[in-house]
């Protein structure tokens, strides 16, 4: 059985991109207490291979650099409250379709049939709690997603 498995890679050092986005959103009138950013890779994976995938990604150090990143497996395969996942719409027909084999840095990722990459923005409202859906939607509309070639997912 193939299951989704989300791996999150976030910076442990100051994230200048998130800081710039936050100051821009505030200038556009959004009342935000904070903004965090991470890369989320949603793998289509043979069930039970999650620990092996995590170990492989940690050892490859291709999408993850232990000097400045933290890597974790997410429990859910969709955005949490206050999150916005932005994904570039595949250009070519069939792009992103399941593959028989997935290679990263020349190594086969065993049991992986496909992967989608998202930029996950985590927005915090004025009280420091996850931003409301309305605030997330506004941030998406005015800055974080260009619907011409990106899609935005939130709950």
Partner 1 sequence: MGILVFPGTNSEDETLRACRAVGLEAQLVHWNADLREVRAFAAYVLPGGFAYEDRVRAGAIAAHDRLMTVVRERAAEGTLVLGICNGAQILLESGLAPGLDGDPRPQAGFARNAPGGRFRSTHVYVKLAVPPSRCALTAGLASDAVVPAWASHGEGRLAASPEALERMAREGHVAFVYCDATGATTPHAIPNGSALGAAAIVNREGNVLAIMPHPERDGWTFMHHDASRERARGDAAAMLAPSGGTVLFAGLAQALG
DSSP annotation of 80 reads P
28 in contact with partner 1 (CB under 8 A): yes
* Residue reference for tokens 């997410």: 74
Q: Of residues 10, 112, 131, 144, which one binds partner 1 by CB under 8 A?
A: 144
Binding residues for partner 1, total number by CB under 8 A: 20
CA 123/CA 109 separation, integer angstroms: 32
143 in contact with partner 1 (CB under 8 A): yes
97 in contact with partner 1 (CB under 8 A): no
Calculate the CA dihedral of residues 97, 148, 117, 96 and round it to 10 degrees.
10
Helices (H), the chain: 16-27, 50-60, 133-139
For the record, the structure tokens of 31 come out as 């009342």
110 in contact with partner 1 (CB under 8 A): no
Q: How far is the CB of 111 from partner 1 (least distance, A)?
A: 25
Of 52-60, 83-91, 108-116, 128-136, which segment contacts partner 1 by CB under 8 A? 83-91
47 in contact with partner 1 (CB under 8 A): no
Q: What SS3 class is residue 106?
A: coil
Of 17-25, 40-48, 49-57, 96-104, which segment contacts partner 1 by CB under 8 A? 17-25
CA 111/CA 94 separation, integer angstroms: 20
On whether the CB atoms of residues 10 and 133 are closer than 8 A, the answer is: no
Q: How far is the CB of 91 from partner 1 (least distance, A)?
A: 4
Binding site for partner 1 (CB under 8 A): 16-17, 20-21, 24, 27-28, 88-89, 91-92, 141-144, 146-150
């Amino acid at each position: 059985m193939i299951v989704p498995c989300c791996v999150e890679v976030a910076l442990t050092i100051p994230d200048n991109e998130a800081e710039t986005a936050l100051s821009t959103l505030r200038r556009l009138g959004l009342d935000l207490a904070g903004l965090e950013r991470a890369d989320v890779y949603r793998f289509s994976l043979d069930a039970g291979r999650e620990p092996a995938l995590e170990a492989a990604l940690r050892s490859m150090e291709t999408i993850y650099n232990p000097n400045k990143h933290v890597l974790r497996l997410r429990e859910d395969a969709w955005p949490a409250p206050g999150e916005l996942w932005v994904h570039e719409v595949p250009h070519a027909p069939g792009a992103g379709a399941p593959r028989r084999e997935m290679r990263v840095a020349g190594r086969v990722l065993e049991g992986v049939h496909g992967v989608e990459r998202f930029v996950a923005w985590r927005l915090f409202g004025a009280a420091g709690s996850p931003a409301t859906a309305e605030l997330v939607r506004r941030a998406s509309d005015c800055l974080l997603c260009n619907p011409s070639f990106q899609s935005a997912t939130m709950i």
